[in-house]
Chains A and B, each alone.
Chain A
Amino acid sequence: MSNGVAVIETNGLPEEWEVNTSAAEEAALLERIRQGNTAAFDKLVRDHLPRVVNLAYRLLGDRNEAEDIAQEAFLRLHRSLPNFRGECLVMTWLYRVVSRLVVDHLRRERLRRRLFFFRRDEEDPDPVDTFADTAPSPRDQLLARETEKRLFVALGKLSARQRAVFVLRHQEGLPLREIGDLLGLREGTIKAHLHRAVQVLRKDLNDWQEDTP
């Protein structure tokens, strides 16, 4: 990831991701941060933190890892502020950094596991996930919670890029062109990743629903 580059051309965030501060207010806040106002940076963090943690959580499926990734994204933002020219929203910038940090993180995890299990193909199911604890939840647990858990298991069977493309398109509502910009991939590749991801998820979740009494 290029830490120094703090400008991207995209601003097409889903409406719900728009922070309740105007571009002018954000620019003023950034200026105060550059002047060394720590309270201003704290406000920026508090404004964006829940969204950033949630994005990382949807991509990773693990709360602790999501919080670590969010912290790392804000630290990179802090380091990049001197070069931040305000040509995009801070949230857009964070979106990009979080997506790439997560893809890198997932790939490192995959590599670590593949080295252990000597898998031949990245697209092969991950043995750790295949044998993951998918025991049914307690009876009083809500079905939604169980479905969510199952979704993360199914997402774990995708490659890092397939997973990122699916979450960014389906759950975050980003257009494919924007996702291509965020991840540095061509639109054709993005479409193929999305298709493959949906195929795997539908099959996995359909099988699970059929097996569920």
Chain B
Amino acid sequence: MKRQPDCTIKEESLLLFHYRELAPKERLALTEHLRQCPACRQRLAELKNSLASLPRPTLELSAAEVGWLSARIAARTRPAPRPRFWLWSGAVATAALVVSLAAWPPTGPDSRLGVMGRTSGEIGMVEDPELLQNMDLLQNLDLLQELKQVG
């Protein structure tokens, strides 16, 4: 189809005409041109057909999906839970108590740790005869002092 010899209508103008985005004055001028230019009418018709054939994608969200997404959003809007200081302080106190009990020196004969500690100390002394000798001397000295007090 032939365009008018003086036809300078651009594709963009036809597009804006289709979307009704031309200024009133330009729209009026193009409307007048279209009456006289079959080629531009054809171009506009093709443009409209192309655009009309484009689909409009749509998602159908079920009530359950809306509920699930809403719940996720609601969960994310809630403030983050504050650290439970009372819980941590209790745990720290318990740990400190356990450590202090473990480090406490054994007092009774049932304390296996104490028995083991004393036994190993005695073994150490047995391995050092000079120390044993000195202890004997000290014991003798104590005995002499006691006898002196009695006498």
Assess the A144–B55 pair: CB atoms within 8 A. yes
Considering only residues 182-199 of chain A, those with a C-beta below 8 Å from chain B are 191-192, 194-195, 198-199
Cα-based distance from A195 to B66 in the complex (angstroms): 36
Per the CB 8 Å criterion, the residue count for chain A at the interface is 40
Q: How large is the interface on B (under 10, 10 to 19, 20 to 34, 35 or more residues)?
A: 20 to 34
With A41-B74, A70-B69, A195-B11 given, is the CB distance from A50 to B61 under 8 Å? yes
B53 touches A53 (CB 8 A): no
In whole angstroms, how far apart are the Cα atoms of A18 and B107 in the complex?
Answer: 82
Are B61 and A169 neighbours in the complex by a CB distance under 8 Å?
A: no
Task: Say yes or no: is B21 at the interface (Cβ < 8 Å to chain A).
Answer: yes
B66 — which chain A residues lie within 8 A by C-beta? 46, 49-50
Which chain B positions have C-beta within 8 A of A175? 21
Does any Cβ of A come within 8 Å of B100's Cβ? no
Tell me the complex Cα distance, A75–B11, Å. 42
Closest residue of chain A to B19 (Cβ to Cβ) is A169
Contact B21–A176 (Cβ < 8 Å): yes
Q: Give the residues in chain A near B72, CB-CB below 8 Å.
A: 71
Chain B: CB-nearest residue to A146: B55
Chain A 53-64 interface mask (CB, 8 Å, partner B; 1/0): 110011001010
B70 partner residues in chain A, CB cutoff 8 A = 42, 45-46, 49
B73 at the interface (CB under 8 A from A): yes
Question: Which residues on B sit within 8 Å (CB–CB) of A151?
Answer: 54-55, 57
B interface majority secondary structure: helix
Query: A16-42 interface mask toward B, CB cutoff 8 Å, 1 = contact, 0 = none?
Result: 000000000000000000000010011
Contact A147 B61 (CB under 8 A): no
The complex places the Cα of A23 from the Cα of B72 at a distance, in Å, of 27
Q: What residues of chain B lie closer than 8 Å to A130, measured between beta carbons? A: none
- What's the nearest-Cβ distance from chain B to residue A143, in Å? 10
Contacts of A49 in B (CB 8 A): 61, 66, 69-70
B7 CB, min distance to chain A CBs, angstroms: 18
Contact of B69 among A53, A61, A78, A191 (CB under 8 A): A53
Does B91 make an interface contact (CB < 8 A)? Answer: no
Question: Separation in Å of the A84 CB from the closest CB of chain B?
Answer: 14
Contacts of A67 in B (CB 8 A): 69
The answer to whether the Cβ of A170 comes within 8 Å of any Cβ in the partner chain is yes
Asked if B30 CB lies within 8 Å of chain A CBs, one says no
Query: What are 7 A-B pairs with beta-carbon distances under 8 A?
Result: A42-B74, A53-B69, A54-B58, A58-B57, A151-B57, A198-B50, A202-B50
Q: 4 smallest A-B Cβ distances: which pairs? A: A195-B12, A148-B55, A78-B77, A45-B70
